[in-house]
Every structure is written in structure tokens, then in C-alpha cells.
Amino acid sequence: MKLWQKDKASLQEVEIFTVGKDREMDMYLAAFDVLGSLAHIEMLESVGLLTSDELTQLQQALKQIYRQIQQGEFKLQDDVEDIHSQVELLLTQQLADIGKKIHSARSRNDQVLVDVKLFLRNELEELVNSILPFFDLLQVQSEKYKDHLLPGYTHLQLAMPSSFGLWFGAYAESLVDDMTTLKAAYDVVNKNPLGSAAGYGSSFPIKRTLTTQLLGFEELNYNVVYAQMGRGKAERIVAQSLANVADTLARLSMDACLYLNQNFSFISFPAELTTGSSIMPHKKNPDVFELIRSHCNRIKALPNEIILMTTNLPSGYHRDLQLLKEHLFPAFETLKNCIDMAGLMLSNIEIKKDILADPAYKYLFSVEEVNNLVNKGVPFRDAYKKVGLDIESGQFKYDTNISHTHEGSIGNLCTAEIKKMMLKIIGTFPFEKVNAAINRLAQ
């Protein structure tokens, strides 16, 4: 029997189709559903819809369920529709009619909303905590290899001298901007939709500000219609923030695949971090980076997938929104795994020395020679023309000693300044406040 069922059951084919993967996705939400209920019942007691004794009994039972979830001992029964039904069933089995009171003044719509926001908020925190050591590694490698020059390319053609210090540092700073968008996504999900019920509020005198405080949310989604309209929008914004991190990793991985190629041979890895061929004994394939690239490219498609799934939906709840979970929820674990594997690879990278000593890279220094002439008083256009003619006539001469000292260049990486930007953004996440509120509810 479903919570919403009256006297007739749905056709089995309809039930199977409409449930889809919802039960599987609900396991991601299990702990957060209990947390939402703990906040909700405390609020119900404050407005007289539960007695103090009923609240105590419900809290004890919910916390027992929460511990079971944390210990991996919780599951959905085969004949139970979703996580909300399972929790209410367990409470009713243990507390009889008291368990049935837990649903007063709310709908499964706002239960799902608050569960999803709590889940996304938690996952964003975990992702931030995964990114930070990877950012630190990139900065360490940037400083370690700052004197190792590397060809720079535009249009995949030789351009100007770069360095491994710049290369590692570029991806570190990219993560700073990615972190900024993660914070924006965090701000969007850190608002409380609970109390919006089916999307039009409740005639009960509920205290939505109280559940906001109890769950550690920064603010309410005040307008109850918008609280429901936010479903899909919040997921899309979060997906975009994940896509930004994924884009950084995908581009880094593409670089690594190129640089490992024998025609480049700029970098190498221990044999145990690469894979071989079934028939070519010389092969050392960058499978890790290739898979990171593919996983991350798939994550980059998520925002577009979500926006298409929510295109032309009017206000109010629609079952279309159920499908948003299926690719977004697992994407967090995939992205964290990619970060961890990229960290493993870059921790063991071996950098080739004196790459630019090879005459094949001599034209990388053409701009340096133009600049040398300019420093001697030659107008830039004249200097450019002279060096170009020297190249065409085979008379080009160059010096591999370069001196770039401005901010963010080969000789001035500004590693500390980039670190400062990252720490500034990290300091704006209210993790301590949020976790204190959750710990109070759960313990």
C-alpha cells in the first residue's frame, strides 16, 4: 500500500515505469531524509502538533534509523515505494499512531526538496575537501619544476617558451575560479524549502525559520511556489559547478596525454601507473588520463541534460524532475575519483630536462629576439620584420636564456597570491556552522 493510495492500485506496468530508479537514488538521500524529519518534528512540537513526549519518542526512533544508515545496515523493503515511506513505516511499526504524525504539515514534494538540498550541500563540501589537496599538489609541483622550460603552443603550433611551473600553476589557478562557482552553487542549495508542502504552503502555523536554523541553512526559500520551481534550477547550477571542475581536469588530462606521446616525450610515469598493449611490447598508455578525460567530458554534459529535461515545464511539481537524480547524484563520486587519480599521477610525474635545448624548438625564441631588438631601441614593427626575414632566410640566431619577471610569468609565478585567493574563497563556506547544526540534530 502506497502512502497516497486509496482503494485502487496502479497497473503494475505503470508502477514499474514511474518508479524507475527512484528507489536506488533514494539511498543517496536516506540520511538526509532522517535529518529533515528530525528538524520537522522539533518544529511540529513547537507549534503544538506534537507533545513533548511524542517528540522524544520520535527523535529516539529517528536517530536509531540514522545510525543504521550511517553503519550501512539500512535498506528499502521490496514493497516500499521510497525512502519517505520506509522511514514512516519503521516509525509506525515502532510507535504506532505517533509514527503517522510525522507527515503533518508537509508533502513528499518538500521532503524531496529538502533531502536533495541537504545531499547536494554535503556533496559540495566533500568535493571542496577533495579539491584542496589536489590544488596544493599542483602548487608544490609548480614551484618544484618552475625552472624546467616547456614549449608553449597556440593552434597546436610552436609559440613561445613556457615552463612546467606555469603549466602546473595554471591548473591550480583554474581551480580557484572553479571553487568560486562551487561556492555560488553552495549558496543556492543552502536555502531551506521545507514547509512549502506541495508547493502552496500549509494552513498549519508552522515555523519555517526554525527548521532553517535547525538544519543549518543560511536562508529560506521564502516563496513556496518558487521553492518548488527551484527543483531543477538548483540541480542545474550545481551541475554547472561540477562541469567547471571537470573541464579543468579534462584539459589537464589532454595535455598529459599529448606530453606523454613519444613525439613530445615531455613527461613520463612509472610503469605501474600506465598500461600496456596486447601485441605492442613498447606501449605505455595513459589510460588513467584518458578515462579522466572521458568521465569529465560526460560530467560537462550534465548542465545541458538538466536544462533540456526542465525545458518548458510550468510552475509546480512534475514527475519529470525525478530523473534529474540519476546522472547528477553519481557524478560527485565520479568527479572525486577523477581528482584522486589525477593527484596520484601528478605526484609521480617525471619531467624531462632541457627540452628547449633541442634545435627543433628554436623558433620558440623568435619573440624573445624581437623583444631584444626593441630593448635596443628598434621600433617593434621593424624588429618583428627583421626577425621574420632572418627566419625565412635561414639566418635566425637566438639565445635560450630568457627573463620574464612580470606577475604570473615564468620567473614570477605568484604562487602565494594564487594560494591567497583560494583560501579567501574557502573561508566563505560556512561548513563549521552547518556541521554544528547537523551534529546537534543527529546526536
Distance separating alpha carbons of residues 438 and 53, to the nearest angstrom: 22
| Per-residue confidence band for 9, with pLDDT thresholds at 50, 70 and 90 | low
Q: Say which residues have a Cβ less than 8 Å from residue 263's Cβ, sequence separation at least 6.
A: none
Integer Cα distance of 57 and 60 in angstroms: 5
Residue 79 backbone phi and psi in degrees, to 5: -95, 15
Residue 362 CB contacts under 8 Å (≥ 6 apart), including other chains: 396, 398
d(CA 213, CA 39): 9
The cell numbers describing 379, all together, are 621600433
Write the pLDDT tens digit of every residue in 97-141: 999 999 999 999 999 999 999 999 999 999 999 999 999 999 999
pLDDT at 8 over 70: no
Q: How far apart are CA 84 and CA 323, in angstroms?
A: 17
**Whether residue 1 has pLDDT greater than 50:** no
- Confidence (pTM): 0.93
In angstroms, rounded to a whole number, what is the distance separating the alpha carbons of residues 166 and 145? 9
Q: How far apart are alpha carbons 169 and 135 in whole angstroms? A: 9
Q: Which of 404, 394, 409, 405 is nearest to 359 (CA)?
A: 394
Domain ranges of the chain: 12-103, 108-357+413-442
For 341, phi then psi, to 5°, come to -70, -40
C-alpha span between 50 and 61 (Å, rounded): 15
- Point out which residues pair with 302 in neighbouring strands: none
Q: Name which residue leads in pLDDT, 379 or 24.
A: 379
Do 108-357+413-442 and 12-103 fall under one CATH topology?
A: no
Domain 108-357+413-442, second-level architecture: Up-down Bundle (1.20)
CATH of 12-103, one of 3.40.640.10, 3.40.50.10090, 1.10.275.10, 3.40.50.1470: 1.10.275.10
pLDDT score recorded for residue 5: 54
CB neighbours of residue 12 within 10 Å: 8
Strand partners, 83: none
pLDDT digits (tens, 9 = 90+) for 215-244: 999 999 999 999 999 999 999 999 999 999
Measured CA angle at 75 (ends 195, 320), to 5 deg: 50
